[in-house]
Amino acid sequence: MSINIKNLTLGGCCAIALSLGFTIDAQADGPYGFGSAASAADIAKIDIDVMPDGRGAPSGSGTYAQGKKVYADKCSACHGADMAKPVKGTGAAPLRGGRGTLTSGKPKKTVESYWPYATTLFDYTKRAMPFNEPGSMNNNDIYAVVAYILAEGGIINKKTTMNAKALAKVKMPNRNGFISDPRPDIFNYN
Amino acid sequence: MGKKTNLHGYDAKTRRMMEGMAEAENNALAARAEAEEECECKEGMFPSMDRRGFLAAAGAVGAAGAATLATRGAAAAPPGAMDYPIQKDPTSEQGRLTNADGGYGSRSQFESEVRWRFPTATKESSWTMTPLDKSEGIITPSGLHFERHHGGIPNIDPAKHTMTIHGMVGTAKTFTMADIKRFPSISRQFFIECSGNGLTEWKKPYLKTVQGTHGLTSTTEWTGVPLSTLLREVGVKDGAGWILAEGGDAALMTRSVPLDKCWSDALVGYAQNGEALRPEQGYPLRLLLPGWEGNTHIKWLRRIEVSDKPFMSREETSKYTDLLNGGKARQFSFTMEAKSVITFPSGEMKLPGAGFYEITGLAWSGRGKVKRVEVSTDGGATWANAELQGPVQSICHTRFRFPWKWDGKPAILQSRCQDETGYVQPTIKHLVDARGLDGHAKFGSIYHLNAIQSWGVDSDGSVKNVHKY
């Protein structure tokens, strides 16, 4: 523990040192002033995340029809034409199907069956997809392909135009499927 | 074991994953067996790959490995070693010249243990396991620390790397590496464990070696700036509760972390075992959250955003969640609970005969210090305390040792640890009773397996991965 000596009289300082055993350190204990202020423009370049309530979702929009093209161009080579069966050897995850399987003993986790928020689909696609060229799709492309994937999964209407507002409104089937970690859950204390 | 294990009942993806993992382990074991064949030390209880064994292993891994070897030539030393002439009698002639290694030392060319890669579909999104069977003491050499990457290993120029803290802060700031290194630093030894460590072992013994069953944990001395120092530098606004940490790799890996952890013991680390982080460990800058699952220790850290709520990234919703019986999934299961494993003797070793052996292994807990480790040599019927190597550190691999006189009869070796909170390492049955086995088809919950490990010793001295509880 150190105390900023500038704020203390010499007497007060010694009294604390004697009564509580503190080491008085005359050196500054921060803030140190290192680093430079980040401008809004600097932050905007890297602040790409989208939160479940839609915060961070950029402007732009896309439709099912546009998304179908984007999907064929950027996604289907790995995720497969029908989204349910990824192409072997690519490591891609199935995006569609599996609803109702989480209690079956043979759960099939997909965007449709498992992901709790549509914003996560936008966020992840924007930051990491397509695998061979991450960051190469613009916001309109991503909104469009999100619309296509969600509509193919029967979660939204094919006529829905996807944008920042619509994205936050999507109710994913497994929205309430997650609970807090209660561990420790095993009690062999002795 | 891969061939013999009945994979019926697993879904196709699980089967592929398990078969692939077994194949990688088999490649390593085949190479080791070949090395033993040409070695005089056949009965050796410490089998090690020699150079030929290494070549076989690397060749078996695939075309990429073979290509690398071709460029290095047939006489290449194992990874991390240099090939020097072998002297007939080192006492009769001068050794090699001082500093001939260019000023950075390497291990002996006779040492060849390596991480092996889990054969995922891509080599960009994959992981490697630490060879715990050869581990000594508590520290993992930097070059053997396990890895998990989601978009390959970025090659980052530290002079150009920055880390920005923004969001619900007083003053958003960008720090260069030079800025970061001017802050007061601390060094601390602690383990990092992937929460997927042991993922193949829920239902039946699957992988053969301790590298396969437990190789996703490693201990390092990490150096960096407490995150609390940086948070005070920018000022955190009232109402903030979480941060998002983001890496600068092709995956832009992100995890949400409760602010409380950031104020307590989180580190923004730039050094590992006394030197800069290795690139595969996050060079030049990595978030470190002692005791929390490995995925949260965001590598290549470029951004921290302070917010009121978690961000619900893909890695904390779709992945790293534990699906339970009944269909609900546990989320934000950060802490790695108390766990231990015997590293010697362990799977695929062979004891040369009855007599004295020092059983040794590692214990650790994300909740604090290891208080006690017990060892059983009769499959859990009786237990006795092992000796702990001091000093025992919080959230750190703790080496334990236990003298054992083997009578040459079949035995089952187990270790069980207790941490300072009183928590006792459970059996697999305890975990399955509490959580079910439905996480990934019938394969299990995948994440957070911290059960007691059993090694069966046959009367011929061979050691195998078994389930006994």
Q: In the prediction, which pLDDT does B264 show?
A: 97
Buried b / exposed e across B410-449, counting CB within 10 Å, b at 16+? ebbbbbbbbbeeebbbbbbebbbebbbbbbbbebbbbbbb
pLDDT in tens, B121-166: 999 999 999 999 999 999 999 999 999 999 999 999 999 999 999 9
Q: Would you call B123 an interface residue with chain A, using a CB distance cutoff of 8 Å? A: no
ipTM: 0.88
The answer, yes or no, to whether residue B441 has pLDDT greater than 80, is no
B172 contacts in A (CB within 8 Å)?
37-38, 43
Q: Do B434 and A186 touch (CB under 8 A)?
A: yes
Q: How many Cβ atoms are within 10 Å of A101's Cβ, its own excluded? A: 18
Q: Would you call B111 an interface residue with chain A, using a CB distance cutoff of 8 Å? A: no
**At B58, which helix (H) or strand (E)?**
helix B51-61
- Beta-carbon contacts of A189 under 8 Å, excluding residues fewer than 6 positions away, are B422, B423, B424
Q: In the prediction, which pLDDT does A30 show?
A: 80
Task: Determine the Cα–Cα distance for residues B28 and B10; give it in Å rounded to an integer.
Answer: 25
Of B150, B424, B448, the CB nearest to A189: B424
Q: Would you call B429 an interface residue with chain A, using a CB distance cutoff of 8 Å? A: no
pLDDT in tens, B155-173: 999 999 999 999 999 999 9
A134 contacts in B (CB within 8 Å)?
151, 250-252
* Residue of chain B minimizing CA distance to A86: B13
* Residue of chain A minimizing CA distance to B182: A34
What is the pLDDT confidence band of residue B53, given thresholds at 50, 70 and 90?
very low
| Span B188-217, average pLDDT | 96
User: Identity (one letter) of the amino acid at B313?
Assistant: S
Q: In the prediction, which pLDDT does B202 show?
A: 93
Task: Determine the Cα–Cα distance for residues B15 and A11; give it in Å rounded to an integer.
Answer: 74
B252 contacts in A (CB within 8 Å)?
48, 127-128, 134
End-to-end CA separation in angstroms for chain B? 20
User: Identity (one letter) of the amino acid at B298?
Assistant: I
B242 contacts in A (CB within 8 Å)?
none
* Residue of chain B minimizing CA distance to A124: B314
The answer, yes or no, to whether residue B38 has pLDDT greater than 90, is no
Q: How many Cβ atoms are within 10 Å of A82's Cβ, its own excluded? A: 12
pLDDT in tens, B309-338: 999 999 999 999 999 988 999 999 999 999
Please tell me what DSSP assigns to residue A27.
S
What proportion of chain B, given as a percentage, has pLDDT over 70? Answer: 86
Q: Do A38 and B166 touch (CB under 8 A)?
A: yes
CB < 8 Å from A in window 329-348 of B: 329-335, 337
pLDDT in tens, B386-415: 999 999 999 999 999 999 999 999 999 999
pLDDT-wise least confident of B29-33, B41-45, B257-261, B301-305: B41-45
Q: Do A123 and B314 touch (CB under 8 A)?
A: yes
* Residues constituting chain B: 469
Q: Would you call B424 an interface residue with chain A, using a CB distance cutoff of 8 Å? A: yes
What is the pLDDT confidence band of residue B20, given thresholds at 50, 70 and 90?
confident
Q: Would you call B441 an interface residue with chain A, using a CB distance cutoff of 8 Å? A: yes
| Span B444-459, average pLDDT | 93
B173 contacts in A (CB within 8 Å)?
35-38
Q: In the prediction, which pLDDT does B67 show?
A: 39
Cis status, amide bond into B141, omega within 30 of 0: no
Buried b / exposed e across B91-127, counting CB within 10 Å, b at 16+? eeeeeeeeeeeeeeebbebeebbbbbbbbbbbebbbb
Task: Determine the Cα–Cα distance for residues B418 and B424; give it in Å rounded to an integer.
Answer: 4
Q: In the prediction, which pLDDT does A20 show?
A: 53
| Span B254-269, average pLDDT | 98
B270 contacts in A (CB within 8 Å)?
none
Residues of chain A with pLDDT under 70: 1-28, 190
